[in-house]
Amino acid sequence: MSTETPWPPQSSADFPRLASLPAYVFAQVNAEKMVRIAAGEDIIDLGMGNPDIGTPSHIVDELVAHAGDHKHHRYSASRGIYGLRDAMSEHYARRYGVAIDSESEVVVTIGAKEGIAHLMLAILDSGDTVIVPSPAYPIHSYSVVFAGGRVHGIPLAEGERGMVDGDALLEAVEQACASTWPRPKALILSFPNNPTTLSADPGFMERAVEVCRREQLLLIHDFAYADFSFSDDEPPSLMQVPGAKEIGVEFFSMSKSYGMAGWRVGFCVGNPAMVGALTKIKSYLDYGIFQPIQIAAAHALRAEQECVTEVRDTYRRRAEALVGALNRSGWPVPPPLATMFVWARIPERFVEMGSIEFARFLLREAGVVVSPGVGFGAEGEGHVRFALIADEDRLRGAGERVGRALRQNP
Ligand SMILES: Cc1ncc(COP(=O)(O)O)c(C=O)c1O
């Protein structure tokens, strides 16, 4: 414990590593939401990206079939059982035409979030710099801070409609490498992107690998929304880029694609040294996921994939319902090309308020919870994020309520 830690500590903020985390700006809106729910208000909560679509029954049935067997009640393997690692390898071969070695190039994680956090702990030294586009899914930055590293933020901007401005992003990466000493060690990317919903094309992925090779950066790609493109273009996997495995890894999550957020299953695939580092640190920290869950996850990956298409189509219809209602209400919000979110620029006359106050305004005046954009990094200011975690009628209702609130406060 640092000598600066007050004795005895009064709160978690008294511990220096936690005190260096950025403020958790979602907390304030959350606290107000709870008060209103407790008071009996009908609140439409589109804050957290917590999927409401249940897990398909064939996956639940597989869990149930194995849950009672005593041999599965012991500790499992922290790196994941072979059958699940092999199912992930088959998934990459089938879907992306890429060979992933089930022994050395894949490790099972307790969700992508845990995997990213522990990978950073395994590969960073205190003071190492990691380049993270902003806005970002918070763990991309927090994981670096937890590991004692430094975040170098670069702006994430839209290029052509719905696509990342890849040239600007990679130029910023090169500038960061030229201007930061010691040189940055890693770059974290994530497309389709939460919260901005921006997508990337295969050409961008290739250029990203090229830049990382030249700048000697490790590349970490969070592919949690791999199955969530609403256009005809499949989101590219980092692993499809020749040579990507020499410098990077990709995280895949069962949470969104298979409605399994509560089950906590993810994967890290790619570079054997990085996968090995994560495997090693996990072997000290956990004993693996409950084995029947791993068996059911392997079944999910190997069975008919129609359920994944259904989940994606559900989110697409939901996005249309919400965006349609917001647009009819006079808030011109573009439909997302991907993910399970709508990322909306705050109407001009409310921008000054800032995204936290605007989110509080929507809660108070419309009974709708959204995430303030600034919670995803400074560049997220001026926006709010709607998570599509309610059915179409309720989302339409949310859009109408928001429209009424905007009109009543000209
Ligand atoms: C970009 C991104 N990565 C990772 C996660 C978390 O994935 P998991 O549930 O596998 O930990 C999320 C969840 O919202 C996400 O948006």
Pocket test for ligand 1, best of 141, 194, 220, 293 (most atoms within 8 A of CB): 194
For 66-85, the pLDDT digits (tens) are 999 999 999 999 999 999 99
| 234-277 tens-digit pLDDT | 999 999 999 999 999 999 999 999 999 999 999 999 999 999 99
Q: Are residues 322 and 273 in the same domain?
A: no
User: Quick one: CA torsion of 288, 129, 270, 233, rounded to 10 degrees?
Assistant: 110
Residues 102 and 19 in one domain: no
Distances (CA, A) of 227 to 177, 192, 231: 32, 9, 11
* 134 and 201 part of one domain: yes
298 and 188 housed in the same domain: yes
302, 320, 336 — which closes off a domain? Answer: 302
Examine the domain organization and report whether 79 and 133 are in the same domain: yes
Q: 3-class SS at 151?
A: strand
Residue 24: per-residue pLDDT? 76
Residue-range definition of the domain harbouring residue 188: 70-302
Residue 243 alpha carbon to ligand 1 centre in Å = 26
Query: What is the position in ligand 1's atom list of the atom closest to the CA of 48?
Result: 14
**pLDDT at residue 22 in the model:** 74
Atom 14 in ligand 1: residue holding the nearest Cα: 49
Task: Examine the domain organization and report whether 44 and 107 are in the same domain.
Answer: no
Q: Which residues line ligand 1 (CB under 6 A)?
A: 49, 111-113, 137, 190, 194, 222, 224, 253, 255, 261, 266
Residue of 110, 113, 119 best suited for mutating to test ligand 1, as the one with most atoms within 8 Å of CB: 113
Question: Residue 70: CB partners within 8 Å, gap ≥ 6?
Answer: none
Answer yes or no: is 395 within a domain. yes
Closest ligand 1 atom to 190 CA: 1
**Tens digit of pLDDT for each residue in 160-203?**
989 999 999 999 999 999 999 989 999 999 999 999 999 999 99
Q: Whose CA is nearest to atom 2 of ligand 1?
A: 224
Domain containing residue 333: CATH number? 3.90.1150.10
Q: Residue 295 is inside which H or E element, if any?
A: helix 291-302
Tell me which residue has its CA closest to atom 13 in ligand 1: 49
284 and 135 co-located in one domain: yes
- Nearest atom within ligand 1 for CA of residue 137: 1
For residue 21, the model assigns a pLDDT of: 80
* Residue 64: inside a domain: no
Residues 136, 229 share a domain: yes
Gap from CA of 119 to ligand 1 centroid (Å): 15
**Within-domain flag for 6:** no
Q: Is the pLDDT of residue 2 over 70?
A: no
How many separate domains does the chain show?
2
Rounded Cα distance between 11 and 7, Å, is 11
